[in-house]
Structure 1
Amino acid sequence: MLLQLRQAVLDANLELNRRGVVLYTWGNVSGIDREAGLIAIKPSGVDYAAMTVDDIVIVNLDNEVVWGEKKPSSDTRTHTALYRAFPQIGGVAHTHSTHAVAWAQARRAIPCLGTTQADYCAGEVPCTAPLPPEEVRRDYETATGDAIIRRFQALDPAAVPMVLVAGHGPFSWGTDADDAVRNAVILEEAARMATLTVTIAGRDPEPLEDYVLDYHYERKHGPNAWYGQGKK
């Protein structure tokens, strides 16, 4: 079932490992077939080195397994919450990458301090509020998705394809599983750069000027984007 999607999701999970933003079985990637309403996602607790395309699990948007012999990722309900809330996304990635987690543990958004971040995120990387205790007790993974959704009530998830969950870590998304992984890797590098910048400055630096931020974001992602070679 959905072999092409399962292969794409396997490749995306392995790319997380190759890029060094996950350790052991930490992290997970999923992709969705919107027409079918089905999601391919990493199995829970399976080492990246041992994972095959037949280990990838298919679930529906109600978190029911419809194909596969393994348990899906423990974060599945967070993924499905994001797919339901953000219909424009096609892939979700979650890691515990070092610098992004450090900012999440500090309960701090990553300010946009320079053009590198502006090229991929239209402003700061937001951080959610801590989860209420009753939501954690009721359904922690869905509550994690709900916290992200609440934080994005006034934000465009296409323009800001990444977030920090307070005390937990980063989630990112994109047009497909591969794009979600790319944004996860970029988020970790942006977090590392921000950490170094704050350390060198010895204080919280001024954010990048809005007009520079807008220029860099629009040249890659705006309606008249001109970065790269374009389509022939």
Structure 2
Amino acid sequence: MDRYAMLKQRVYAANMKLTELGLVILTWGNVSEIDRENGVVAIKPRGIEYADLTPEDISLVDLDGHPLESGLLPSVDLDIHLELYRNFPGIGGIAHTHSTWATAWAQRSIDLPVCGTTHADHFYGDIPCVPYPSPEQTDEDYERFTGKLIVEEFHRRKIDPMQMRAALCSAHGPFTWGKDASEAVEFSYILEEVSKICKLSEQDGAVQRLPRHLLDKHYLRKYGDNAYFYQTK
């Protein structure tokens, strides 16, 4: 499995970045990345504190969740990641945290509204909060149904996962994704900050959503066909 050493290193580095950014404590999170050409997913192992994690500890599985080498068991959230990889073919990395501000929104079981241009620079609209699994789904396969509910909510609302790289799982916490593990973590960090900003904005009363023309301008100038925000596209 030496050919996957770089994949493991990237996933290890992304997981450690969560601690550096203050988005996780103890074992409260996980990051994965997929090698779509070979159908391999690398993910943080379950129940391992970040202080004890090494690149060699990162678990490798196929898209059915079967381990590809002996070693530590993958994250208990593996099936959530796999559901997203199977149904959102454009994504290459996923991050899950229980970061304070984003998790607080998830525990309110409401969408995170797009209140300002900071939010609109990165997420094209309100960040959806998806329902939690039913008692039957929880008993049958909690993690898989959690992933399915994210996918179903995006399909129901006709949300493009490449324009909305985040979801709040009701009463649980946030998931973010990107082109690779590193970008998924970046969106976790951004999500935490816009969650905090929006909540602080509510202190003196309800906040208004950003007008559509400003949402379009701020998101599309970075990610649209005629984007001009960066030095190069």
TM-score (norm 2): 0.96
For residue 105 of structure 1, what is the aligned residue in structure 2? 107
Count of matched residue pairs = 229
Structure 1 position 68, deviation (Å): 4.2
Matches within 5 A, 1:34-45: 34-45=36-47
Correspondence 1:137-148 to 2 at 5 A = 137-148=139-150
Kindly state the Cα deviation for residue 35 of structure 1 after the two structures are TM-superposed.
0.3
Aligned equivalent of 2:151: 149
Query: For the Cα contact (< 8 Å) 2:33–2:92, is it kept in 1?
Result: yes
1:76-128 Cα distance to aligned partner (Å, 9 max, x none): 00000100000000000000001111111110110000000100000011000
1:25 aligns with 2:27: yes
C-alpha deviation, 1:67, in angstroms: 2.1
Which secondary structure state, in structure 2, belongs to the residue aligned with residue 152 of structure 1? helix
Q: Distance between the aligned counterparts of 2:128 and 2:228, measured in 1?
A: 27
Q: Give the letter aligned to residue 181 of structure 1.
A: V
In the alignment, which residue of structure 2 is the partner of 1:48?
Answer: 50
Instruction: Find the aligned partners of 2:103 and 2:161 in 1 and give their Cα distance.
Output: 20
Select the residue among 191, 209, 221 that pairs with 1:207: 209
The residue number in structure 2 matching 1:118 is: 120
Q: CA deviation at 1:223?
A: 1.3
Please give the per-residue CA displacement for 1:19-77, whole angstroms capped at 9, x wherever unaligned: 00001111000000000001000011111122111000001110111124001001000
1:194 aligned partner, one-letter code: C
Residue aligned with 2:34, SS: strand
Partner residue of 2:223?
221
For 2:19, give the aligned amino acid: N
Q: Which residue of 1 aligns with 2:190?
A: 186
User: Distance between the aligned counterparts of 1:212 and 1:167, measured in 2?
Assistant: 31
The aligned residue for residue 168 of structure 2 is 164
Letter in 2 for 1:161: R
Say which SS state the counterpart of residue 230 (structure 2) adopts.
coil
Structure 2 partner of 1:174: 178
Distance in 1, Cα, partners of 2:69 & 2:167: 30
The answer for unaligned runs of 5 or more in structure 1 is none
What secondary structure, in the 3-state scheme, does the structure 1 residue paired with 2:195 have? helix
Does residue 1:61 correspond to 2:54, yes or no?
A: no
Please tell me whether the aligned partners of residues 132 and 146 of structure 2 are also in contact (alpha carbons under 8 angstroms). no
Residue 224 (structure 1) shift: 1.6
Q: Indicate if the aligned counterparts of 1:94 and 1:172 stay in contact, CA closer than 8 A.
A: yes
Matches within 5 A, 1:60-99: 60-99=62-101
Contact 1:58–1:68 (8 Å) recurs in 2: no
Structure 1 residue ranges, 4+ long, deviating more than 4 angstroms after superposition: none
1:28–1:94: 8 Å Cα contact kept in structure 2? yes
Alignment partner of 1:138: what SS?
helix
Give TM-score, length-normalised by structure 1.
Answer: 0.97
8 Å CA contact 1:54, 1:68 repeated in 2: no
Q: 1:180 to 1:68 in 2, by over 3 A?
A: farther
